[in-house]
Amino acid sequence: MELRPLGTTDVEVTKICLGTMTWGQQNDEAEAFAQMDAALDHGVNFLDAAEMYPVPPSAESQGRTEAYIGNWLHARGTRDRVVLATKVTGRSRGFPYLRPDIDDGETRLDRASIEAALEASLRRLRTDHIDLYQLHWPDRAVNLFGQRGYVHDPEDEAVALEETLAVLADAIQAGKVRHVGLSNDTPWGVMRCLALAETRGLPRMVSIQNAYNLVNRSFETGLAEIAMRERIGLLAYSPLAGGTLTGKYLDGRKPAGARMTLFGERYPRYFTPPAKPAIRAYVDLARAHGFDPAQMAVAFAASRPFVTSAIIGATSLAQLETNLAAAALTLSPEVMDGIEAIQRLYPDPCP
């Protein structure tokens, strides 16, 4: 499988990354092991997790995903064969079980929170270092997870990026983290972090993990140029838009055990009024050219010049095999023209 440089580092990651957020909720440990085995057999060297996984998050399940990965790394002896990424939770009062002893249960990107999160992730992952440690979302108030408009709060007492980056610098110095990245961030956040790296000698962000798919190409406005010019590539999550781009939810269908069947109320961004005709158009385009709709969607995300890796997730090995096969798919100019025509008709219905 094609390898691509992770930012300006000497680390190379596969164009497909294995996402893990269903492990510990929709998938048990044996199924997680089988997925990691299959991905490794297909040449994937990149795993992405988060301290708060699985999703939907809960006090009972939190940390299982990282624990499954750690147990697999230990059982298979594969630590030196994978680039291991995880995330520290951004600012929120929604997960008091993550920081019960600090910050009044609020997750922050300050020293106490990051150090506690990092140590816990290292224990669960059964490793002495994390290759890519990402800030899951900013400490400051930004428009996240489908919110279109930005509302500025001049009274927002966000943790300064200088403090956050200083903690990450110490983690790198201690050998616990190799590289750092952003997630769910904005053009201002990326450029501010890069400026601090240049002027203060703080760690340089090497990647940004944001949503990107056929029905959400908002990354192309502002962030894509930064990704290309500054070599801070996109790790594209949700290339299937929560599975909706497979077409399995069209016409009101609710497949048993599927994520949107179980937790659809948590993902309103993929069920906006213009989403349905857009998704149907992409599914029809794929089938007209003899493609599996899921493979076309993943192949599109992975083909973009600003994308370092497309993060795929699955709840079954059959789904995983389908998604992995997209790595070998090349979309013709005719297909790309069709995609652009649909984008013009239904621009980013699921930001």
Which residues are part of the catalytic machinery? 53
Burial class (CB in 10 A: 0-12, 13-18, 19+), 273: exposed
**How far, in whole angstroms, is CA 209 from its chain's centroid?**
5
Residue 324 amino acid letter: L
Beta-carbon contacts of residue 91 (< 8 Å; ≥ 6 apart): 106, 107, 108, 109, 137, 138, 139, 140, 158, 159
**How far, in whole angstroms, is CA 233 from its chain's centroid?**
12
Phi/psi region, residue 16 (left: phi>0; alpha: psi -120 to 50; beta: rest), is: beta
Bridge-partner residues for 13, per DSSP? 4
Q: Could you tell me the end-to-end alpha-carbon distance of the chain, in angstroms, rounded to an integer?
A: 30
Bridge-partner residues for 205, per DSSP? 180
Tokens, residue 151: 């509302």
Question: Rounded to an integer, what distance in angstroms lies between the CA atom of residue 244 and that of residue 253?
Answer: 11
Question: Rounded to an integer, what distance in angstroms lies between the CA atom of residue 220 and that of residue 37?
Answer: 34
Q: How far is CA 331 from CA 182, 288, 295, 349, in A?
A: 29, 13, 10, 22
Sign of CA dihedral 110, 113, 115, 117: negative
